[in-house]
Structure 1
Amino acid sequence: MSQKQLHSTEELDQFVNENGKRLLFKHSTICPISTAAYDEFQAYVQDNAMPSAVILVREDRPVSNAVAERFEIKHESPQIFLLENGQVKWHTSHWKITKDAITQAVQE
């Protein structure tokens, strides 16, 4: 399953509004904590066929801000969201982003 990088709010809307479960990861390419969390996210995605997308928070700040506004969840980086049918079912940030945590959230 391919992973998307979202560069616009239109791409965000399209990704969020698709049916089923999907993962959205907000990543800062200059943060070592974000890099570690991104590696955990990638490990999950490589082993599971789940639609996923990444927002690079520095490069695509308007898209990152749109996530915080749309879901009324304070921006953090790194940050991951499990979406289902357009709604946030689970989210976490920083060191709590692990392959095991994602696996557990998806299974619930």
Structure 2
Amino acid sequence: MGILNSLSKLFPESTGSDTGFWEALPDPETVESFLDDTGGTMVIFKNSPYCGTSMFAKNSLDALDPEKWTGIRFFMIDVIKERQISDRISKLFGVRHESPQVLVIHNGSVYWHASHARVNAEQLRNTLRSI
């Protein structure tokens, strides 16, 4: 556990509640009905607070200006603390769990998704513009 403790000092933990425009998803039992009720377009970002690649992806995505994306909701899942929610999202949408990972859900279906180094603000902006 020494390595994880050291990494936790380099990458402070974060959840949707303390990171600007990112929202948190509810518990795994209600996530499906919540997503059904939300409708429209949403971005789901799966983030690991102990992964360097996730840190770079999160920093890139944090640069998005959510006010430019009216009607789009942005959610973040901490894959360490909220693994059950992450697994439920993977099962619901048929996209294998990876981290970092971003899914764009439009009208109830996966419109686009990316993992690892492909998770960045430029790719996401281009995707959201194409909807």
Give the TM-score category using the shorter length: 0.7 to 0.9
Q: Do structure 1's residue 83 and structure 2's residue 105 form an aligned pair? A: yes
1:6 corresponds in structure 2 to 25
Compute the displacement of 1:86 (Å).
Answer: 1.5
37-46 or 94-103: which moved more?
37-46
TM-score, normalization: structure 2? 0.73
Compute the displacement of 1:3 (Å).
Answer: 2.6
1:68 corresponds in structure 2 to 90
Structure 1 runs not aligned, ≥5 long: none
TM-score, normalization: structure 1? 0.88
For the residue of structure 2 that corresponds to 1:44, the secondary structure is coil
1:103 corresponds in structure 2 to 125
2:77 corresponds in structure 1 to 55
Partners of 1:80 and 1:97 within 8 A in 2: yes
Structure with the larger strand share: 1
Higher relative contact order (CA 8 A, sep 6+): 1
Residues 99, 15 of structure 1: alpha-carbon distance in 2 compared, 3 angstrom cutoff: farther
* Identity across matched positions, percent: 26
2:47 corresponds in structure 1 to 27
47-56 or 92-101: which moved more?
47-56
Partners of 2:44 and 2:75 within 8 A in 1: yes
Q: How large is the Cα RMSD of the aligned pairs?
A: 1.9
Larger Rg: 2
Residue of structure 2 aligned with 1:92, choices 114, 123, 130:
114
Compute the displacement of 1:79 (Å).
Answer: 0.2
Write the distance in 1 (CA, Å) between the matches of 2:65 and 2:78. 17
Aligned length, in residue pairs: 108
Compute the displacement of 1:19 (Å).
Answer: 2.2
For the residue of structure 1 that corresponds to 2:50, the secondary structure is coil
- Render the CA deviation track for 1:45-101: whole Å, top value 9, x for unaligned: 446333111110010111011111111111100000001122110000111111110
